[in-house]
Every structure is written in structure tokens, then in C-alpha cells.
Structure 1
Amino acid sequence: MRKSRILAAVAVGLAVPLATAVPASSHGHVTGPPSRAALCAAGTVKNCGEIQWEPQSVEGPKGFPTRGPADGTLCAGGNSRFAQLDDPRGGGWPTTRVSAGQRLTFTWKFTARHSTTSFSYYLTKPGYSATSKLTRANLDLAPFLKVPYNGAQPPTTLSHTATLPSGRSGHQVVLAVWEIADTGNAFYQCIDVTF
């Protein structure tokens, strides 16, 4: 009896550190074209703070565009730990070259495969200034691509291909939103492009 209690205590003692060692913040991010989070994680962009170690953790309240993160905090998902993602850096974020009508593939890498409601992709409006923080007022709030996922779990990588809208020029931002089905959150990724 005493031996089984000791073994049980040892098992519990080992389980607690192992359970807390697995980060609760592992989820997913856009790797191609590289999101701001991915650029920070790769070291392409410096002075990113904690996001350089956690590009998959840009999580905030779901329900965008009617709910979700506050304007000006969309790229960080409303998470102040990752506020560097909301800084427009004077329009200096590296961009991916694109053209109107082009088919562009967005690739997500997942470190936790959550039950998923949908993926949505929004683009800034014509005339957007890349020196401004991202707000609902400077986004077209009708997604140019929405992919329902009906509660399924995505694989470890997943790609969506969309036709980019016309009427844009210069530096624009794509806001990609991965909405989780079984929590109150979504994951937010900003991708800088140049038309």
C-alpha cells in the first residue's frame, strides 16, 4: 500500500512540470506569403519583442469584424504582448509583390490543430496608408476569401488560394483570421503586400 502511494506521488510530481512545460500558446500562423509574425520569427524584421519566439500565438477574441480586437490592435489580435505587430514602422514592413487578379496562396503552419469554424481574408481599401495602424475603417470588411471549416481540425499545414481584388496600388495589408470553433478566440495574421 505504502509503495503504491509513493509511486502515485512520484507520478503526480513528474506530471505537473511536464504539463506546465508544454506552452499553452502554441497554435498557428501564416508562413507564406510571410506574415509579420513569420518575418519576426525568421529574424527578417528586428525589435519584435516576444513574437519572435511565438509567431503562432497571435490570438484574440473572435467575431471579426463586428467583434474581436480593437481597431489599431488587429495585427496583434488585441494582445499587448505582441504590440510590435501593430506598429506600421513608417510603412517599412517587408512586402510580397502581387498584382490585381493574381491567384495568391496563403499557407498556415499549425502547432495546435483546433476545431475550426472558418478562415477569412480581408484586404485594405484603395488609398490605404501603410504608415497607419490597421483599423476596420481602412479594411474592406467583406472578405475576399472565406473558407468554412465546419468544426474540422486542419492538418499541420494548410493552404488557401484566392484571387486578389483589383483597384489597389502600393503597400496594402491582408488580414487573415482563423476562427476557432470551440473557444471564444481567433488567430490574427497581417501580411504586407505591394501591388
Structure 2
Amino acid sequence: MKRKFIAAAIGVLIAPLLTVVLPAGTASAHGWITSPASRQQQCRAGTVACGEIKYEPQSVEGPKGLRNCHGNVARFAELNNDGKGWQVQNVSRTQPFSWQITARHRTSTWEYYIGGTRVASFNQGGQQPPATFTHNVNFGSFTGRHKMLAIWNVADTANAFYVCVDVNIR
């Protein structure tokens, strides 16, 4: 009995120490647009000098309903900086956008916005997306330079993933 008590006491004392000493694993969530190069992709590739987002382009997750590039994640706030030198991607009026998904959450919808106008929506009906896929987005009458916001609405949580792409629609 005494040995069990000592072993339990040691476990209680060592467990918190191990959580501080052992390295944390990397995040395995969730997804971003790789082509045309989104702001996250430009950070990842080193095209634009960025902070932590260059290591976690997939992690811009926040509550559903936001309309910003950083999903209200303070450490990724630089994604909202329109003066940072983002490379503008020349795109057609109907343009494919390719996603890389690292954690395949069941999905309700994918939405694409120019300003406050939703230009495309794709209903996935709660299905899991593949690890890579493409949406063809029709920009309608929009032309010229814009910041496009893409939103991945997860079906089984209150969160979404946010991605911005600077585009020049020809």
C-alpha cells in the first residue's frame, strides 16, 4: 500500500514538470489556399517577410462570421496589413483556387468575398474535403485589384478558417 501511495505521489509531482520540459508537438490543423498564392502561402514561401504565420499557414482559425484575414488570431494580425507588400496575383474572371488541407474537418460551406460581396459559395453538406482540391470562382463583374477573402466553414464546430488573396482580376 505504501509503495502505491509513493508511486502516485511521484506521478502527481512529475506530470506538471514533464509538460513544461518536453517540447510541444506542432499543430496539424487545418488549411489554406496555395494557388494563386494567398498571404499565408507568401509567408510560408518567404516571398513576404512574416512572423509565426510562415510556420503555420494552415492555422488561421476563428469564430464563424468574421471578415478579416487573421481570424482574430492576434499573433497572425500581420495578415491584415494591406501595406505589407503582398504580391498581387493576376487572375481571370473565372479562376481556380487550390487548397491544401492538413486536418480534413467536415465542412458546411466554402465562401469567397470581394469586399462585403459574396462572389461564390460551395456547399459541402458536412462531408470531409480531400487533402488538396480546387474551387473555380467566378468573380462576375469585378475587375481590377481587390483583396479576396476565402472562408472555410467547419460543419462540426463554431469555427471557420480564413484566407486572403490579393488579386488583379482581368
Stretches of structure 2 that go unaligned for 5 or more consecutive residues are: 1-6
Deviations 1:36-60 (Å, cap 9, x if unpaired)?
A: 00100000011x1100000000001
Residue equivalent to 2:104: 113
Equivalent of 1:149 in 104, 108, 124? 124
Return the TM-score normalized by structure 2: 0.81
RMSD over equivalenced CA pairs, Å: 2.2
Deviations 1:48-104 (Å, cap 9, x if unpaired)?
A: 110000000000101x2xxx36xxxx10011101011011116x31011124xx220
Q: Is 1:28 the equivalent of 2:31?
A: yes
Alignment of structure 1 residues 38-117 onto 2, 5 Å: 38-46=41-49, 48-62=50-64, 64=65, 68=66, 74-89=68-83, 92-99=85-92, 102-117=93-108
Cα deviation for residue 34 of structure 1 reads 1.0
Indicate the structure with greater strand content.
Answer: 2
Cα deviation for residue 167 of structure 1 reads 4.0
Alpha-carbon distance in 2 for matches of 1:24, 1:33: 24
Alpha-carbon distance in 1 for matches of 2:138, 2:122: 13
Stretches of structure 1 that go unaligned for 5 or more consecutive residues are: 1-5, 125-138
User: Per the alignment, in what secondary structure is the counterpart of residue 151 of structure 1?
Assistant: strand
Return the TM-score normalized by structure 1: 0.71
Give the partner amino acid of 1:160. H
Cα deviation for residue 22 of structure 1 reads 4.1
**How many matched pairs?**
153
Cα deviation for residue 164 of structure 1 reads 1.7
State percent identity of aligned pairs. 43
Residue equivalent to 1:127: none
Q: Which structure's CA Rg is the greater one?
A: 2
Alpha-carbon distance in 2 for matches of 1:93, 1:29: 16
Alpha-carbon distance in 2 for matches of 1:22, 1:165: 43
Alpha-carbon distance in 2 for matches of 1:58, 1:29: 8
